[in-house]
């Protein structure tokens, strides 16, 4: 089996794969801890694979995508400790079936690369990939070229930031309000965040598309399914896009 990690700013998703299937047969989600020791991380990974009732010796390959550089060395060491194998750390220098147009590819988040690889292989279309997580990223993939995109603040990060930096405002749930016009502070915050982020996503997609109506939209990330029912533009929801991208990049780089 193959083990893959999508290491995000808030959460990490571990996936276990059969060697011939890009869809993970098992996934395990846990908080990303920047200062985790090798032992702590090894214990977390070991407990996860035990839930799938396999032994460490069944893991023959490992790969990870990380936007948290502080974690990288611990993952390298933990996989060596648990599985006695070297782990492929995805970078802009990894072999991939797409090209990258970016001023400094080393600064491009590898999660965006992984998403673009999966979209290119699975959809074979020009598209805008929207990953709705701690940050919201928009990537334009055209003719097999990742042409860059947009990074916007994520919903929960902005909600937390506003509550922490203002004396009279507070955190609220992310949900559709009864009316866009609110008569109290709580509902005003709910309305602002809900319609603000719906408008942000739709607006950036429309700006990126311009007159090129042929772009399809693929949405992934932790908040994709929450927001999807309220978007007025057609989108493909693909919550396992990144996890399939990990498998494809492992297969290409092994």
160 and 216 housed in the same domain = yes
Among 39, 56, 89, which residue terminates a domain? 89
Confidence of residue 162 (pLDDT cuts 50, 70, 90): low
Mean pLDDT, the chain, rounded, equals 91
Active-site annotation holds for 126:
no
Question: Which residue is catalytic, options 18, 58, 76, 111?
Answer: 111
Angle (CA) 125 128 133, round 5°: 130
Establish if 249 belongs to a structural domain: no
Domain range holding 216? 99-239
**Residue-wise DSSP of 4-19:** EEEE-SSEEEEEEE-T
Contact 7, 68 (CB under 8 A): yes
Establish if 175 belongs to a structural domain: yes
Establish if 251 belongs to a structural domain: no
Establish if 179 belongs to a structural domain: yes
pLDDT at 223: 83
Average pLDDT over residues 123-141: 93
Contact 133, 10 (CB under 8 A): yes
Using one digit for the tens of pLDDT, what is the confidence trace for 46-78? 999 999 989 999 999 999 999 999 999 999 999
Contact 175, 190 (CB under 8 A): yes
119 and 172 housed in the same domain = yes
78 and 176 housed in the same domain = no
211 and 104 housed in the same domain = yes
Using one digit for the tens of pLDDT, what is the confidence trace for 11-41? 999 999 998 899 999 999 999 999 999 999 9
**Residue whose C-alpha is closest to residue 151's, from 131, 136, 132:** 136
pLDDT above 70 (res 213): no
pTM: predicted TM-score of the whole model, two decimal places: 0.91
pLDDT at 167: 56
Among 40, 68, 89, which residue terminates a domain? 89
CATH code assigned at 137 = 3.30.420.40
Lowest model confidence (mean pLDDT) among 67-76, 140-149, 155-164: 155-164
Establish if 120 belongs to a structural domain: yes
Distance CA 12, CA 239 (A): 14
116 and 232 housed in the same domain = yes
169 and 50 housed in the same domain = no
137 and 189 housed in the same domain = yes
Establish if 244 belongs to a structural domain: no
127 and 65 housed in the same domain = no
> What's the total number of domains in the chain?
2
132 and 173 housed in the same domain = yes
């Amino acid at each position: 089996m193959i083990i893959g990690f999508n290491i995000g700013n808030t959460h990490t998703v571990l996936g276990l794969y059969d060697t011939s299937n890009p869809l993970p047969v098992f996934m395990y989600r846990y908080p990303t801890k920047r200062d985790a020791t090798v032992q702590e991380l090894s214990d977390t990974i070991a407990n996860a694979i035990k839930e799938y009732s396999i032994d460490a010796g069944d893991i023959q390959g490992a790969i990870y995508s990380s936007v948290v550089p502080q974690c990288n060395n611990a993952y390298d060491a933990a996989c060596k400790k648990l599985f006695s194998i070297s782990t492929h750390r995805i970078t802009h220098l990894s072999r991939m079936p797409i090209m990258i147009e970016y001023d400094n590819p080393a600064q491009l988040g590898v999660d965006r690369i992984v998403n673009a690889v999966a979209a290119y292989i699975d959809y074979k279309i020009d598209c805008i990939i929207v990953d709705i997580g701690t940050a919201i990223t928009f990537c334009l993939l055209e003719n097999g070229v990742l042409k860059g995109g947009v990074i916007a603040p994520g919903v929960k990060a902005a909600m937390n930031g506003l509550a922490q930096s203002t004396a009279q405002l507070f955190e609220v749930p992310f949900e559709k309000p009864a009316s866009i016009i609110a008569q109290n502070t709580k509902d005003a915050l709910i309305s602002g965040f809900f319609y603000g982020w719906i408008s942000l996503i739709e607006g950036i997609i429309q700006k990126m598309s311009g007159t090129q109506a042929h772009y399809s939209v693929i949405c992934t990330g932790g908040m994709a399914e929450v927001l999807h029912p309220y978007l007025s533009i057609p989108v493909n929801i693909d919550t396992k896009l990144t996890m399939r991208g990990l498998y494809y990049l492992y297969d290409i780089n092994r």
